[in-house]
Homo-oligomer: A and B are copies of this chain.
Amino acid sequence: MEVVVLRLGHRPERDQRVTTHVGLLSRALGAKGMYLAGQDSGIVRSISRVVEQWGGDFFIEDKVKWRRCIEEWQKGGGKVVHLTMYGLPVRECEMAIRDAGKILVVVGAEKVPGEVYGLADWNIAVTNQPHSEIASLAVLLDRLFLGAELSADYPGAKIRIVPCGKGKQTESL
């Protein structure tokens, strides 16, 4: 299964921290990369530094045109999932999404162009309550990968955490 995230509506002056959370969790929960519709070299640098230090081959690309990104993904045989509080319950759709194999997950900031609802193969809600696109994406990824993402390997890492019950332990590789 291949999942890539497309972050829409990023405003550099306001969304830097939230979009950084979206990028980091995408990497940590099994996505292959993130397209950023918008320009923000600061986020590209900070995510790239994490990859360099902590391993794996997660990619991040900014200045992406969202409509073209969605259409090319679909032309390439992939399906598009748009996360929205107005969508269908994730539990009804997650098996079908998993079966689709190649998924672009669209995650908006506050306002998402209406056209996205039409282009998406699924409009999915992780609860129909107001909450957080970071939380929705995390729950969706954990459900799609069935927890396997939580023990993934990150080849090329320079540092690794040694899980422990109390305190902090790391090792250099």
Contacts and interface: CB of A to CB of B under 8 A. Distances in A.
Interface string A156-173: 000011011111111000
Interface stretch (A36-44, A72-80, A87-95): A87-95
Contacts of A114: 167
A150 B90 contact: yes
Contacts of A165: 87-88, 122-123
Interface of A: 17-18, 21-22, 24-25, 27-29, 50, 54, 84-91, 114, 117-118, 122-123, 125-132, 134-139, 142-143, 147, 149-152, 154, 160-161, 163-170
A44 to B, nearest CB: 16
A154 B129 contact: yes
Contact of A135 (B28, B122, B151, B170): B28
- Count copies of this chain in the complex: 2
A143 B149 CA distance: 14
Contacts of A138: 132, 134-136, 138-139
Nearest to A14: B17
A86 B117 contact: no
Q: Which of A24, A118, A137, A165 has the most CB of B within 10 A?
A: A165
Contacts of A170: 86
Nearest to A169: B86
Nearest to A90: B150
Contact of A132 (B86, B128, B134): B134
